[in-house]
Each structure stands twice: as C-alpha cells, then as structure tokens.
Amino acid sequence: MKIYQFSKDSGNAIHNYNSLYSFYTKIMKTVETTNIGFIYIEAGGVVGLHEAPVPQLFIVIQGEGWVCGKDREKLLVKQGEGVFWQEGEAHESGSDTGLTALVIQSTQIDLLE
C-alpha cells in the first residue's frame, strides 16, 4: 500500500494565461490519453481565459467560484456542481473565497445525460 498526497502543497503553480494563486495536481494518466487532476484556486485566484485543448470536465468538490466563456459572463459554481467544456471552447475560472475542483480531460469523454 502506498499513501499519496493530493493537497495544494503537492501541486504546481499555474502560470499560463495570466493565472493567479492557482495550482494543479495531476492524479493519473490513462492509456486512452485521459488526465485526471485537481485544480486549487485560492481566494482571489483565477485560471485565465484559454481554449480547452481537449474536452474537459471541471467538478467543484470544495468551496465555490465562477466560470465564464469568451463573453466574460460569470456563472457561479459550488461544491457538487460541474462544468463541461468542449475542445476549443474558451473559458476562465476563478474564486473569491477559494475552491478545489477535480478536472478530467480526455479526447473521449461521454457524459451521462
């Protein structure tokens, strides 16, 4: 048995896209080119506007924040809610109080409707 740490302290700072106070911890990568990881956005943090390189599912597991697209209209998201972005879809996320999100990225994401 091996214990792993997935806290913000084990993550890497996100510097791209003019991001502030945001960190990413990758959990695993599958043969099917799937990345699963955590994003930690501290109070006042933002992951700047960028296009999704592949379909992405962003699930808030703690805290609350906001997401927006190119129109910059912020939509609130909280624990237990998720956002799905298609490949190429521009988006930004942030939080006034801090949030942790589980992020799943893959060329093949089939969500149950």
- Chunked into runs of 10 residues, the chain (113 residues) has average pLDDT values of 68 91 76 86 97 92 96 94 92 97 87 58
Its pTM stands at: 0.77
Domain-embedded: residue 28? yes
Domain coverage including residue 83: 13-106
Q: Give the chain's domain count.
A: 1
Cβ-Cβ contacts under 8 Å for 36 (sequence gap 6 or more): 26, 27, 28, 29, 102, 103, 104, 105
Question: CATH number for the domain including 19?
Answer: 2.60.120.10
Domain-embedded: residue 5? no
